[in-house]
Structure 1
Amino acid sequence: MQIRVQPFTVHKRVPLTISRGTTAESTNLWLILEHDGIEGWGEASPFAAGRSPQTTSTIAAALEAAAPHLADYTPYDQQAIAARLGELHLPSAARTALDLALHDWLGKRAGLPLWKLWGLERDRIVPTSITIGINTPESAQQRLRGWLELTQVHAVKIKLGSPAGLEADRAMFSAVLQDVPTGAKVSVDANGGWDLPGAIAMSHWLAERGVTYLEQPLAPGQEADLPKLYRESPLPLFADESCFDRADIPKLGDRVHGINIKLMKAGGLSEALAMVHTAQAHGLQLMFGCYSDSTLANTAAAHLTPFATHVDLDSHLNLLDDPFLGAEMQEGRLIPGDRPGLGVYC
């Protein structure tokens, strides 16, 4: 099979600020795998969360180095390919691009979308949240109004963990809450921006204001503090940066209520599906999230969202120049279509 990689740059309608910094654009990688006249498509996007930042250049270099090692395989050889990729120590985003392309190829060969190959039900998919980044109260409020003009909003995720402190978080949250549509669920993602006392205090304050769940309140590396927060928080806790793949889940099973699966940190749909089953075995809830991903990667993730309690696949909705079409928003839900494979096209 032949592999080629093409970079593409996408620009955000509105830059997104979280506790770690601000992103206005991203150069992602489009991987095209060809075999027997069929193309499988995948995407890799850079991200800085967690153990080791993955840049566009490091991901591209890894894929370029791996391509000759994969030339003699076919898309049917997924177990052998996975073993080879493990030997090559590819970063997770590079593995994601290859894994999505392999799944896309197999779906196209079978003539079926992935959700149908897996026997999943699209009517189980819950609304995807739209994200409000850290900002002044007035600007955050205006950002929500912009989202309301762009799409139907049934769920809102508010980024907190401001470097300015808890009072800044409370002021911004209160401003945004004024314009949240009636009936829409509200969640908070601190991206590890709080210490333990602050997280305990904020969990109670946010619960009094109707928040649904709290994501990554403590920084990665502070997992030993999660049991105390778990006992004292009235809100369900979800791990994001503290949970990359299935190996992380058993260590979190007694201290969070759920995990956020992102394809780029997991390594693709194969690992994401393994994470689903591992989390279910530990009684944990599931959500799917994204980085600066285009429609390609978010459509891939959408095929697995019938498993999810919460969905946060909105990054492509904030792009001015997304080159792809795929899953469509229907009443606030990101629904994969009936095209075979991922169902993504240009």
Structure 2
Amino acid sequence: MQVEVNLFTVNKRFPLTISRGTTAKTTNVWVKILHDDIEGWGEASPFGVGNYGQSTETIKDYLQQLAPLLQPFSPLQRQEIEQLFVKNQVPSGVRAALDIAMHDWLGKRVGLPLWQIWGLDRQAIVPTSVTIGIDTPERAKIRTRDWLELTDVRLLKVKLGSPHGIEADKEMLLAVQQEATAQECFVDANGGWSLADAIAMCNWLAELGIKYVEQPLVRGQEEDLIKLKAQSPLPIFVDESCFNSTDIPRLANYVDGINIKLMKSGGLTEALRMVHTAKACGLQVMFGCYSDSTLSNTAAAQLAPLADYLDLDSHLNLSDDPFTGALLQEGRVLPNDLPGLGVKYSASAT
């Protein structure tokens, strides 16, 4: 198969601030594979967790190095290609782009959307949350109003872990709840709390009716999660602490759920493994995203019927998304009936 690599930049309508910094735009990687006159598409977006990251340039360079190695293969040889990835220590974002593209190719080959190939029930997809980044209380209220005007919002994920401490977190969350009286709220600290602050916040958040807390402690502090779980009335989800299926068994006694992102997992193949591993360990499953366009989020939406929670909103915050695919209907990101991912290029993106 032939591999083509292109870069494209997407800009956020509203910059997103989390405990680790602010993002206003990213340059993502669009991968096309061609085999038997069928073209499959995939995407990789750069991301960072603590001192670990995968940049656009790193992803692009790996893809260009892999292209000649992949030429003898068919997209149907995913197991053999996965072994090639392991042998060459290919980063997860690179694997994700190629794996998504191979799945898209397969769906187009057989003329079916992926969710249908897997026998999934599209009507089982739950509403997605949309994200409110760290900000002042007043600006957080404005951002909440923006989301309410832009989309049919049912759920809000509020980013906490402010560098100004948990009192600032409390003021901001209360401001969001005052503005969004009909929406349920989740909280994601992105590892921005100490153990003591996390215990205090989980108990305070429970009194406000918050559904769960995501990544309260920094990646690397997983052993303290068992102490937090013992004192938290809220379910605990992890994101930065869980990249792939091998991470799940060691976390199973510490948390209540995991956040699966295609860029961390390495694509749909591993994401499906993670779902089954998590369920076998008694954990709930969420699908999330980085600065992904409609291309990646539509790929994740193909597996969305298996998720307990969804946070696939990054494409909704783009002013110039070059793709169309999954649609937001009644607060749910629903894949369409087109073959493969069902994604098309929209040259008129603004």
TM-score, reference length from structure 2:
0.98
1:310-333 deviations in whole A, cap 9, x for unaligned? 100000000010000000000000
1:31-64 deviations in whole A, cap 9, x for unaligned? 0000011100000000012562000000100111
Which residue in 1 is equivalent to 2:47? 47
1:158-185 deviations in whole A, cap 9, x for unaligned? 0000000011000000000101142x22
Which residue in 2 is equivalent to 1:126? 126
Query: Between Structure 1 and Structure 2, how many residues are aligned?
Result: 345
Residue range with higher mean Cα deviation, 21-30 or 47-56: 47-56
Question: Which secondary structure does the structure 2 equivalent of 1:259 belong to?
Answer: strand
Question: Which secondary structure does the structure 2 equivalent of 1:62 belong to?
Answer: helix
Which residue in 1 is equivalent to 2:14? 14
Percentage of matched positions with identical amino acids:
62
Distance in 2 (alpha carbons) for counterparts of 1:222 and 1:273: 26
The 4+ residue runs of structure 1 with deviation greater than 6 A are: none
| Structure 1 contact 31–41 (Cα < 8 Å) conserved | yes
Residue range with higher mean Cα deviation, 43-52 or 327-336: 43-52
Task: Work out whether 1:84 is the aligned partner of 2:84.
Answer: yes
Amino acid at match of 2:100: L
Structure 1 unaligned regions, length at least 5: none
Distance in 1 (alpha carbons) for counterparts of 2:235 and 2:261: 19
Q: Describe how 1:327-342 pairs up with structure 2 within 5 A.
A: 327-342=326-341
| Structure 1 contact 66–88 (Cα < 8 Å) conserved | no
Distance in 2 (alpha carbons) for counterparts of 1:94 and 1:133: 27
Question: Which secondary structure does the structure 2 equivalent of 1:343 belong to?
Answer: coil
Which residue in 1 is equivalent to 2:215? 216
| Structure 1 contact 154–181 (Cα < 8 Å) conserved | no
Q: Describe how 1:238-257 pairs up with structure 2 within 5 A.
A: 238-257=237-256
Distance in 1 (alpha carbons) for counterparts of 2:214 and 2:279: 18
Question: Which secondary structure does the structure 2 equivalent of 1:61 belong to?
Answer: helix
Distance in 1 (alpha carbons) for counterparts of 2:309 and 2:98: 26
Distance in 2 (alpha carbons) for counterparts of 1:64 and 1:218: 36
Amino acid at match of 2:125: I
Distance in 1 (alpha carbons) for counterparts of 2:317 and 2:74: 36
1:212-251 deviations in whole A, cap 9, x for unaligned? 0000000001001000100110000001000000000001
Distance in 2 (alpha carbons) for counterparts of 1:8 and 1:2: 20
Structure 2 unaligned regions, length at least 5: 346-350
Which residue in 2 is equivalent to 1:343? 342
Q: Describe how 1:132-171 pairs up with structure 2 within 5 A.
A: 132-171=132-171
Question: Which secondary structure does the structure 2 equivalent of 1:178 belong to?
Answer: helix
Distance in 2 (alpha carbons) for counterparts of 1:116 and 1:254: 34
1:222-281 deviations in whole A, cap 9, x for unaligned? 001000100110000001000000000001100100000000000000000000000011
1:81-100 deviations in whole A, cap 9, x for unaligned? 11011111111000000000
User: Cα RMSD over matched residues?
Assistant: 0.7
Distance in 1 (alpha carbons) for counterparts of 2:86 and 2:262: 17
Residue range with higher mean Cα deviation, 41-50 or 270-279: 41-50
TM-score, reference length from structure 1:
0.99
Residue range with higher mean Cα deviation, 232-241 or 50-59: 50-59
Which residue in 1 is equivalent to 2:194? 195
Distance in 1 (alpha carbons) for counterparts of 2:234 and 2:208: 11
Distance in 2 (alpha carbons) for counterparts of 1:26 and 1:10: 6
Distance in 1 (alpha carbons) for counterparts of 2:271 and 2:83: 17
Distance in 2 (alpha carbons) for counterparts of 1:276 and 1:309: 10
Amino acid at match of 2:242: C
Which residue in 2 is equivalent to 1:103? 103
